[in-house]
Amino acid sequence: MTHLKLTLTAALSLITAAHAETVSRLVVADATTNVLNVLNLTDGKTVGTFSTPGKLSGLYAGPGGQYAYAIHRNDDRVTVLHSGLSSIPHGDHDDLVQKAPHVLATLNVGQQPTHFFAHDDRIVIFNDKGGTVAIFGETLLGKTNDMQIVKVAQPDHGAPTVMGNVLLSGSLRLNRVDAYDLKSGQLLNTIDGCPALHGEAILGDTSYFGCTDGVLAVTVKGNEITSSKLTNPAGTPEGKRVGTVAAHAKSSTLYGNFGTGLARWTAQDSALTPITLPAVPLKFIFAADGQRLLVLTADGALHALDARTGRVLQSAAGLVKPADAADKAAIRPTMTLGQNAAYLTSPTTGEVLEVALNTLTVTRRLVVGGTPAMLALTSASGEQH
């Protein structure tokens, strides 16, 4: 009888799992109108359109998956958009809830919010003009909107990470990382030696920051803080550097932009290894499994790289119109990744292209109109009753 009961329980568990599904919605920011459009990826239809307080300088998905954050640097605001998707615990499973998207909150996190960083369940935003860092979670958003504000060394173009109870605040002009105790706000340590610091990512207990002469690695274990430096390859010309860093929990290899290609490294390396690409990388993101790196280059091509070695596995040319990587004012193509697809903006045609990750072929062209410039993918999983 006990065996029969266990077998029946196992069978019911399999049935429950079989009914669970994931639904995704894509948030698309328009460069001309600063409007946010929400697309239901099940049928490609627009389910919501929202105005915002001002010019968009960034758009990001939150760590929980259901919110998107639009940064308005020049207007000192952050728009928090609820995708309308959520998961609600229900006994031994989660229920999937699909409602209309809406603006959950418009936050004042400080003066000139710029770098947005999310890790675990926390969001960290560096306010360039104010010289502060705002830190908050998603649990009470829309209810209390409470956040911790840490005053750092000076106004700067900063790059922050949070590891446990330690805030690491990278400074472009001071060429260093300052470590603060989040409980007391006190300065714990200063790590010098990262000229024109820009870009940040976390892997394990180490944060990596891009420098003109390599990458600075800062390891945090409790309140013990140590550092090491990875150097640029020998003979690297001036101006060729890492300024954006990408990491994934399932990959021991990290990546950064590096001139017309990429650089890769691991925690055991002492120098960066260059990766050659046919054009300047505009965006590079790890696939969900951490085993591939997807790279959108300025010639309009998409490449899938072996994340461990940097070897190009597949390429698809001419997916979007080529862009001038040197023109910082231009609206250039960008992308985000889902579980099985990449989504590429085509600013000149008013479309978002859905590209299958296994073949790098276009599976859908989502017409949004206007000038799509930024993307954030939101999702939730559960059962529908």
Q: How far is residue 166's CA from residue 241's CA, in Å, rounded to a whole number?
A: 27
Helix (H) or strand (E) holding 21: strand 20-30
| Predicted pLDDT of residue 16 | 47
CATH of domain 152-276: 2.130.10.10
* pLDDT the model gives residue 15: 46
pLDDT band at 10 (very low <50, low <70, confident <90, very high): low
Provide, rounded to the nearest whole percent, the portion of the chain with pLDDT above 70.
95
pLDDT over 60 (residue 11): no
Three-state DSSP at 8 gives helix
* pLDDT (0 to 100) of residue 310: 98
- How confident is the model over 197-202, as a mean pLDDT? 99
Q: What is the mean pLDDT of residues 125-137?
A: 98
Q: How far apart are CA 102 and CA 83, in angstroms?
A: 7
Query: What single-letter DSSP state applies at residue 339?
Result: S
Per the structure block, which two tokens stand in for 130? 């104010």
Give the separation between CA 289 and CA 167, rounded to whole angstroms.
28
Q: Which residue has the higher pLDDT, 2 or 105?
A: 105
